[in-house]
A and B are shown apart, each in its own frame.
Chain A
């Protein structure tokens, strides 16, 4: 019986329980970041909302998971506590959708993605799989026993990322 752990908006969970499944629903312009170390079999899932914490530093202090630049470092730090190694960590990301014709003011999805790329590049880590953009709604699920990540995109069936 899978132990389902639900991650809300601006939230994050980690686990090394082989029966655990981490799931986050309804990623619009938000991005789900899944990390997994296949050796120690620990995984984490972050549901970030916005790119940069400078927009509300006090709020970022209360909940770092809200922003890419504070949430991602925290996700990795927590994984290290479980014995994860940066070199082994597999990163998969999904979300960052846009409303239509979002050329100007409504491109938060794209900005979330750009912020993530910058953070990963600076820290010398690579994203192994991603499903980003479009105007769809995504649900993301990480299986701790296998490290597999599954995606449900809008109303279509589930696919492996």
Chain B
């Protein structure tokens, strides 16, 4: 068992989410907000503006003509997509080097995160479930706890995996037993530290054991499982519980999951630029 104070202290050492991302949240929270405020904040950062435009022009969005300003991006892609692009652009840096403790190659945790975020939108679109402004970010950052915990898991990996193999523990429970905290709970604490909205922080904390009353956590739970089943960010294997109650609550069938996985495969073929973030 580790000293939790050391681990939670690491949260403060994570570079904070930039102001622009905080601005995204306040805009999503406030129906009266003005999207021009967001554009102004982004424009102050030239590198970010350039990156965002590069993403807007990537094969993923398939725009017919090249766009050269944030204003154009806003018109052609809409506010929601622009929010998603900003969050993607600002999240990649956390994941780039993380994941080794989870038996994942460099970049694989980021690939898993982007895949989950894309899948969250596919699932909602294909099944007619309600959109939620925080869903994309919740799916993108659901494993943010792994960024911190990776180092600790690497040291204790043998012990954790022994519980999984010999005593059929789900990985999450083994992680908690050996280290004292699991990556989902820790991710929830990161989200609180970053002043994320409550529903979003809860969704991150609950993505393995979702409360069926928290809609975002249910969707993220399913997207996480689907990507793991597809072998994207599978690392330690499939030692996670699948919650049938979530499927029942959302009125989904197996075929919905399958057709979303097909769609994700196609979208990932076009998402290389996002994976470079």
Q: Is the CB of B258 within 8 A of A137?
A: no
Fill in one digit per residue for B208-239: 1 if any A CB lies within 8 Å of its CB, else 0: 00000000000000000100111110111111
Q: Please tell me which one of the listed residues A28, A55, A101 contacts residue B258 in the complex, with CB atoms under 8 A apart.
A: A55
Q: Is the CB of B244 within 8 A of A136?
A: no
Bound Cα distance from A97 to B241, whole angstroms: 13
Q: Is the CB of A100 within 8 A of B170?
A: yes
Q: Is the CB of B231 within 8 A of A26?
A: yes
Q: Does B240 contact A (CB under 8 A)?
A: yes
The count of chain B contact residues (Cβ–Cβ below 8 Å) is 33
* Chain B residue contacts of A30, Cβ below 8 A: 229-231
**Given A28-B238, A105-B247, A106-B242, A50:B266 Cβ within 8 A:** no
Bound Cα distance from A55 to B240, whole angstroms: 26
A41 to chain B, nearest CB (A): 29
Count, A-B residue pairs, CB within 8 A: 107
Q: Please tell me which one of the listed residues B232, B242, B258, B266 contacts residue A26 in the complex, with CB atoms under 8 A apart.
A: B232
Q: Does B90 contact A (CB under 8 A)?
A: no
Bound Cα distance from A66 to B269, whole angstroms: 13
Q: Is the CB of B257 within 8 A of A99?
A: no
Q: Does B61 contact A (CB under 8 A)?
A: no
* Chain A residue contacts of B232, Cβ below 8 A: 9, 26
Q: Is the CB of A66 within 8 A of B231?
A: no
By a beta-carbon cutoff of 8 Å, the part of chain A in contact with chain B is 9-10, 25-30, 49-50, 55-56, 59, 63, 66, 97-109, 111, 134-137, 154-155
* Chain A residue contacts of B261, Cβ below 8 A: 49-50
Q: Is the CB of A136 within 8 A of B237?
A: yes
* Chain B residue contacts of A28, Cβ below 8 A: 228-231, 234, 237-238
**Given A66-B265, A97-B237, A108-B254, A55:B242 Cβ within 8 A:** no
Q: Is the CB of A29 within 8 A of B237?
A: no
